[in-house]
Amino acid sequence: MPDAGKRNHDSERGKGIKMRFSQDGNALVCRRQGELLRIEPWGRDALRIRATMYPDFTGEEWALTERPEPVSAEIVFSEEMLREGDGTTRAYPLATITNGRIRATVNHGGVLTLYRDDWMILREHFRNYSGSITKESHCLKVVNREWTPYTGGDYRLTVRFEPNDGEKLYGMGQYQQPYMDLKGCTLELAQKNSQTTVPFLISSLGYGMLWNNPAVGEVSFSKNLTQWTAACCRDMDYWVAVAEDPKELLYRYTAVTGRAPMMPEEMMGFWQCKLRYRTQEEVLQVARRYQELGIKLDVIIIDFFHWTLQGDWKFDSRYWPDPRAMVEELHRMGIRVLVSVWPSVDRRSENFEEMVDRGLLMRTERGAMQTYDYQGDCVEIDPFNPETREYVWEKCREHYYALGIDGFWLDNSEPDLTKYDFDNFRYYAGPALRCSNIYPQMYSRTFDDPMRALGVQPVNLLRSGWAGSQKYGNVLWSGDVPSTWESMRDQLQAGLNMGLAGIPWWNTDIGGFMEGNVFDPDFRELLVRWYEWAVFQPVMRLHGDREPFTIPPLDERTMGGGYLHTGQDNEMWSYGEEIYAIMRDHYELRQKMRPYIRRIYEEAHTSGSPLMRAMFYEFPEDPICWDLADQYMFGPDYLVAPVMTAGARERPVYLPVGTWRDIRTGMVLSGGDYFQADAPIESIPVFERVRE
């Protein structure tokens, strides 16, 4: 920056030098006790706030990959009068930066306070004499930004904020719990099967906050303290924006992190898969049967162990003798084909030795070089290394994409680990503790980047993601969840919070993934209710590992796809005529809604709005909607009330003020209150918003 853009403001008032303020172009810079703090505008009504104990920042953008619209900040240096212990008052320096409706102040002790207009929304928690906002806690010595050094480099970082009574918090990705409002929750910041950390939250106080740090850690939204922890990092980095409503916050957040591309028209309908189609003939038989029934499959997915060994990334020719011909036949039916690709490489794989020699795999800090042990002694790939991404794509291009395969099911993308001992793993980008939460995004880029270079819009299915994953054509699903009513209820909270965290393409395994016995009447009822709900999910995908496991393996004497088990049949017709009739009816409903679904996919692409929307997203002025967690809006016009309790044949539904039409009966109702809606096994309550 030219010298004209720099201003300094030093203070020696009080007991020694407290804070050195300066202006660097459009940014407020503060230095104190070896820490560098930088606050700058980052899009409209938004600030990016960084700090480090190093001489300068790493330069990592992490989720903030999009260039924000240029804005100018107002920076003011002033003083505040504080009462001393002897009863006198004294002037202390204060710096303020304002960008539209958001304002931040930094006091003489480095304590940061953020305002939306004139309302305080965030204040760092500090309980020590030298920097406390108030003077009552002289002895606790709890600091707002605590850097705990590791011997040899890097820090464990803890950032503390004062809690806001009555505040509600949403987003943060997907956690297996029954709470949509996260106030009072403690969340692990780590990727695991069925747990997806996307560290962006929306507050009922009118702000959104991105913790722009992929380190393993934890956040606690306690009653007495909000505390973020990064187990290993070099920079503190977070972004805060304010807006009039949640819809505007998502718009601003996705403006700086990226928006989902437009979902291809031919993938907005019904997806079919199971664990697992073992041969190409099984796949073709299923597709042909759907065609005979007049049911248009948009996508069919070939699950794991169609390969020889993990890390070979190719079909087992014993069971898939001509995959090109299989794909061509499926394409003639108008069906797109996805295949499962895992990031694990078996020691017996034909690619293992070369990948080890070239440094393309994860490294362990201690003990044997093993990170995964399902069906083999395996090590996961290191997608932080650009050579790894190039190598894996080239294998998949040769053995899948060149045969006509349309996309990839990037399973185990957290990655799944034998044990989540993150301190024992290291990547090209550094220790896993410092960066592993962005692993699934880097894994997806192994396929997204080269497919885009070929002029193809990728749509890949992943089990995990991170902030900004929406821009890489990622369809996230909720992982290997159990087939229980409790789990189904958890998935609704997961889907709504995932959307509020900026990930609009989301779905679940219809019926749950595991522990579903096809002969159990309770499971069959659960499956039907889950299927009815899935009509109103961004992606409608039938999948699961169905019990009992009584189907013998094709060849238990060999490796590859022949020896591994498969679950029971899991197609629409697999559960009897009564269930098939319900599924067929709801399939037709999904097909009828395709123009509307196309419209809300376009909204996600252009504005960042999710397809599944918490009630308050569409009705922020209604206080009841901020507490509703068992119903939601599918886009702006359809209110969906899933049935998530065994045996239920009615349920309460809240209709906000306005006019609503029951899509099943055509009955028109006036909103503004609860009412008891019928919920026969054949359907769930869904109401269309009638606009003037």
Of 363, 421, 434, whose CA–CA distance to 156 is shortest? 434
Query: What type of residue is 509?
Result: D
**Token couple for 524:** 């069959």
* Predicted pLDDT at 64: 98
φ/ψ of 460, rounded to 5, equals: -120, 140
Full DSSP string of 291-324: HHTT---SEEEE-S-SBSSTTT-SB-TTT-S-HH
**Both tokens of residue 603?**
């909204």
pLDDT at 8: 65
**What pLDDT was estimated at residue 294?**
98
Report phi then psi at 172, rounded to 5: 75, 5
Q: Which of 207, 242, 277 is the last residue of a domain?
A: 242
Phi then psi for 557, rounded to 5 degrees? -90, -10
* 602 part of a folded domain: no
Query: Last residue of some domain: 242, 275, 295?
Result: 242
- Provide the CATH number for the domain around residue 679: 2.60.40.1180
pLDDT per residue as tens digits for the range 200-246: 999 999 999 999 999 999 999 999 999 999 999 999 999 999 999 99
pLDDT value of position 85: 66
The angle, 0 to 180 degrees and rounded to 10, between the axes of the packed helices 594-607 and 246-257 is: 70
User: For position 176, which CATH number holds?
Assistant: 2.60.40.1760
Average pLDDT for the chain: 94
Q: Using one digit for the tens of pLDDT, what is the confidence trace for 158-192?
A: 999 999 999 999 999 999 999 999 999 999 999 99
At residue 236, the pLDDT reads 98
What local confidence, expressed as pLDDT, does residue 13 receive? 43
568-613 pLDDT per residue, tens: 999 999 999 999 999 999 999 999 999 999 999 999 999 999 999 9
* 226 found inside a domain: yes
Determine contact, residues 664/643, Cβ cutoff 8 Å: no
Q: What is the per-residue pLDDT for 692?
A: 78
Catalytic residue among 414, 532, 545, 571: 414
Residue 83 to residue 106: CA distance in whole angstroms: 18
Residue 39 in tokens: 């606050």
Structural domain includes residue 320 = no
Bridge partners of 112, per DSSP, are 106
Question: What span, in angstroms and rounded, lies between the C-alpha atoms of 471 and 65?
Answer: 10
- Where among 242, 260, 295 does a domain terminate? 242
Can you give the pLDDT at residue 443? Answer: 98
Across the range 354-377, mean pLDDT stands at 96
The radius of gyration of the chain from alpha carbons, rounded to an integer in Å, stands at 27
pLDDT score of 143: 85
For the residues 452-476, what does the mean pLDDT come to? Answer: 97
Q: 217: Cβ–Cβ under 8 A, 6 or more apart, which residues?
A: 188, 189, 190, 228, 229, 230, 231
Place of tokens 């990037």: 410
191 domain residue, yes or no = yes
Q: Of 40, 45, 480, 571, which residue is the catalytic one?
A: 480
CA nearest neighbour of 188 among 233, 221, 160, 224: 221
Give the per-residue pLDDT at 198: 98
Cβ atoms of residues 540 and 271 within 8 Å: yes
> What pLDDT score was predicted for residue 129?
47
Return the bridge partners of 241, or none: 46, 208
The domain tally of the chain equals 2
Whether the upstream peptide bond of residue 41 has omega within 30° of 0, thus cis, is no
**18: number of Cβ within 10 Å:** 20
Count other Cβ atoms within 10 Å, centred on residue 84.
Answer: 11
State CA 285 to chain mean position distance: 35
Task: Please list the residues that pair with 341 across neighbouring strands.
Answer: 410
Helix (H, G, I), strand (E, B) or coil at 365: coil
86 is catalytic: no
Q: In the structure, what pLDDT confidence band is assigned to residue 130 with cuts at 50, 70 and 90?
A: low
As a whole number, mean pLDDT of residues 123-134 equals 66
Does pLDDT of 309 surpass 80? yes
Cβ atoms within 10 Å, residue 40: 20
The answer to whether residue 41 is domain-embedded is: yes
411 catalytic? Reply is yes
Can you tell me whether residue 682 is helix, strand or coil?
A: coil
Instruction: State the catalytic residue, choosing from 154, 235, 411, 545.
Output: 411
Q: Residue 137: inside a domain, yes or no? A: yes
Task: State the Cα–Cα distance between residues 37 and 39, nearest whole angstrom.
Answer: 7
Mean pLDDT of all residues in 119-131: 79
Which one-letter DSSP state was computed for residue 414? T
Quote the pLDDT of residue 128.
Answer: 62
Q: Taking Cα atoms as reference points, which of 490, 498, 488, 430 lies closest to residue 464?
A: 498
Q: Is 599 part of any domain? A: no
Verify cis geometry, omega within 30 degrees of 0, for the bond prior to 149.
Answer: no
In angstroms, the CA 180 to CA 490 distance is: 9
Kindly indicate the confidence band of residue 109, based on its pLDDT and cuts at 50, 70 and 90. confident
Nearest to 446 by CA among 508, 382, 505: 382
Over 60: is that where the pLDDT of 131 sits? no
Q: How far is the C-alpha of 239 from the C-alpha of 70, rounded, in Å? A: 16
Give the integer Cα–Cα distance in Å for 292 and 565: 28
Residue 65 DSSP code: -
Q: Is the peptide bond before 415 cis (omega within 30 degrees of 0)?
A: yes
Q: What confidence score (pLDDT) does residue 151 get?
A: 80
pLDDT digits 0-9 by tens, 510-553: 999 999 999 999 999 999 999 999 999 999 999 999 999 999 99
Structure tokens, 400: 């899948």
Q: Residue range 449-464: average pLDDT? A: 97
* 689 DSSP 8-state letter: E
**Would you state the pLDDT for residue 133?**
53
pLDDT-derived band of residue 3, with 50, 70 and 90 as boundaries? very low
The DSSP string of 101-125 is TEEEEE-TT--EEEEETTEEEEEB-
Under a CB-based contact definition with an 8 Å cutoff, are residues 474 and 467 in contact? no
Name the region of 16 (left: φ>0; alpha: ψ -120 to 50; beta: rest). Answer: left
Q: What is the dihedral of CA 466, 468, 472, 476, to 10 degrees?
A: 40
pLDDT of amino acid 88: 83
Q: Where in the sequence is the domain holding 623, given as residue range(s)?
A: 613-690
Most distant pair of Cα atoms in the chain: their distance: 89
pLDDT at 17: 47
Minimum mean pLDDT among 10-24, 346-360, 470-484: which range? 10-24
- 298 with 338: CB under 8 angstroms? no
Between 62 and 136, the more confident residue is 62
pLDDT at residue 276, as a whole number: 95
pLDDT on residue 317: 95
Asked if residue 539 is part of any domain, the answer here is no
Contact between residue 201 and residue 169 where contact means Cβ atoms under 8 Å apart: yes
pLDDT at 450: 98
| Residue 15 confidence (pLDDT) above 60 | no
Name the CA dihedral angle for 490, 492, 497, 501, rounded to a multiple of 10 degrees. Answer: 120
Q: Predicted confidence band at 14 (pLDDT cuts at 50, 70, 90)?
A: very low
pTM: 0.96
Catalytic residue list contains 448 = no
